Amino acid sequence: MRQPPTQVTALCLALIVGSWAIGCSESPTTPARIPARIPQSLPALQAPPISTPSNPSNALVTIDDPLAIVHNEGSRFGYAARFLLRETGGMSGATIDRVVVYGPSGSDETGVGCWRDTLRVPAKGELDTFYTDAGADWLGYCGPGSGGYDATPSLYVVATFRDDSGVVGSVGAAISTVR
């Protein structure tokens, strides 16, 4: 989608034209004066789009006890997302297809292409693979997480799944607990 010109675009054009005019002025010691409109404020950076959870499926999956374990990696931080997945409806189990963690520097995704086995939440059951240390060890670098420059980040996790009939659903939760 094409965006309309902004104040930043106008400023860039003014600077380019001003540079050209300075280089082409008659006196090298007296630059040409080009009035430029300098914006009072620059537009704020927009957060990455977060996929909106939806659940038309027969599996009623919840994300419980979400937290992030923060690792200092020099000038950056790594965020390992931990959470339980529960199916509360009892009508269908759910096979997990992917997990996306949205963080301050964008989003990171993991899914079935990286996992060694199928990850499934049974009807009226839970899946703790994304929650426990043993699950994190099993997942290795395929575990859900993200990275950034904030020691106390705002994170959001979305899990996408298929119920036993193949209908796709998703569930999301904010991660507000950081260790």
| pLDDT for the residue numbered 65 | 97
Asked if 121 and 87 touch (Cβ cutoff 8 Å), the reply is yes
Query: What confidence score (pLDDT) does residue 136 get?
Result: 94
For the question of whether the overall pTM of this predicted structure is more than 0.75, the answer is no
Rounded to 5 degrees, what angle do the CA atoms 21, 22, 23 make? 90
pLDDT higher than 90, residue 86: yes
Of the options 1.10.8, 1.25.40, 3.90.1200, 2.60.40, the CATH number for the domain spanning 61-178 = 2.60.40
Read off the pLDDT of residues 46-75 as tens digits, 9 standing for 90 and up.
Answer: 444 566 677 889 999 999 999 999 999 999
Domain boundaries, the chain: 1-42, 61-178
What is the residue-wise DSSP string for 106-161? EEEEEETTT-SS--EEPTT-EE-TTTSHHHHHHHGGGS-EEEES-SS--EEEEEEE
CA angle 117, 85, 123 (to 5 degrees): 80
In this model, does residue 174 exceed pLDDT 60? yes
Residues 6+ apart with CB under 8 A from 88: 60, 61, 62, 124
